[in-house]
Structure 1
Amino acid sequence: MISRAVTVCALALAMVASGPAVAAQAAYYNTYADIASIPDTACCTGAQGFAAGSTYLYSIKNHTNYDDVAAIYRVNKTTGDRVLMTNGTDGGTTNTWLGHGNDITIVDIDGQHHMFIVTMEATGAQLVRLRYDGTTYYNAGSYQLRLNGAVAAPSGVSRIAVTGTTITFMFKSGHTIYNGSLPLRASSGTIDLTKAFDLQVDGALVNGATVADLSTFANQGFFYDATNQVLYSPMTKENRSIVLVYRDVTPATTGTAPAATDLSFRITSSKYTTFEIEGVGISDGKLYFGTNRSNADGAFDGVHSFNDYVAG
């Protein structure tokens, strides 16, 4: 992995030679810092959904290829201290509610913390709500998602806004973003999705150039920065992970949102044969992410942050 660098001397010489100021290069980030490992448990080996809170990072591990049981890790984003969270409803450190548990968004309701998690299940609940207090969580709601009357099982969810009566979300399925809302305190019900916009992938620039096989990358979770109206969408293939960025998007956006040409993220790992960014989140301006990582020596899933990037 090659670090991003700016050579001040060369830029100064170029400006002297040409007269007018030279445009800055596109911002490109391809190094990261490990915060904590997310080890396998007796049941759960697949790193899935991820979310970044104000103090802690949350990562779901599920029973690979079965989606019948899951565990949740909490990591202090500053110290890396890690705890396997407790199921306050049934006891123990696992639960049977989350399906694939592919993405998480955090919502505060009446001063209490909640996670909303997409299950990607074709039956039962497609969205589950957990209330959590410290390192203990409780089953607090389950919801069906529908698109034009049919079951919808999106792979990504992100909170847009919370009012005194309503939570609004964006959901992602493939390269398409949908809108949906829920009464603030409802513990069950149906969320009808409406299409908002598509995300440009073909022709998207990463470090100023296209990626020939980008259309074959797998879609993962996503994060919408409502304050700055910026959407971050990770895609993965083998030992490569790319995060595309979409600016100036809102729930009212329609058509196709163009990928930013001046900001991109990529990790190409020489250490791991699998390096999948499963989900991303912004906290205090940093871009954090969770990974599914492995090589011939085993699994090395973790939570991390991109070096140097500050959201704004």
Structure 2
Amino acid sequence: MDVLSDVLSVLRAGQPRSALVRWHGPWAQQFPPVPNAVGFRAVVQGNCVLLPTGAAPVRLGAGDVVLLPHGRGHVLADSSTTPPTTRASDPAAADFPDSRPLVIADTAGPSTVTLCGAYELAPEGHHPLLQDLPEVIHLDARVDGRTGLRAVLDMLGVELARPGLGTDAAIPALLDMLLLYALRAWFDETRTRQGTGWAAALRDPAIAAALHAIHRKPAHPWTVASLATLAGLSRAPFARRFTELVGQPPVRYLTWWRMTTAARLLRGSDVPLNVIADAVGYHSEFAFAVAFKRQYDTPPGRYRRSTDAIPH
């Protein structure tokens, strides 16, 4: 599994939430911050403006997608001058109903249709890839090369507007694809930029090779030397470049990813602890438990029991 796919597989907890919303002007809604979720807004019809807290307005037209990786509070409105209101209609809210069409206000006037939604992050889902993302990512799905993003938006709109047999299965899958295509579009957009962080790490052939190897085989007895050889670099230059781009040394990242993978298995399966330990590179269940407790401040068995009530 490639790194981006692998990371996305551990980000979400439970079902993503979404709604097709028809707004009639004048309108403005305040969306409060949601610290443990990734939000998105996509414009299907019409235009509007997104007003992030403490940041410049973002004007949106049909085909525009906004990703809010850190759950930033914002206002969505027909105009920056319309006074905002707060209604219980935020798909990021815990009490939001199942995905469904939603009409906000029934006054006359031009209408704007948006897809609004949120992905609840898993307890172990705070991957450094997300931490590197800006507060607001604005993408135009009509740009050349983004046909996948546009297609997913169209299919999601159809499923929400006209639910049918299989819609409950289709919507979560389409939301996963939307997040993937949005992140892929952002990575493509930043491809020519210099700097550090995950976008730069995945653009660097040597470091990307090491990351892909760690994610494909977390149980392998990787060392800095073996990862450096795989990357085609000597040990010291590899360790420096990896740490600079990824934000932590290779062995620390390897351990972190092993524990993150273990947490996902504990949260989403009934696989025995000794099998999980072996799957993430620990031949001793005791050594695995010590490493897991060091990262999560709780033994793996207790972690599993504490998440038994969480829907997977």
Higher share in helix: 2
TM-score normalized with structure 1 length = 0.25
Higher share in strand: 1
TM-score normalized with structure 2 length = 0.25
Larger Cα-atom Rg: 2
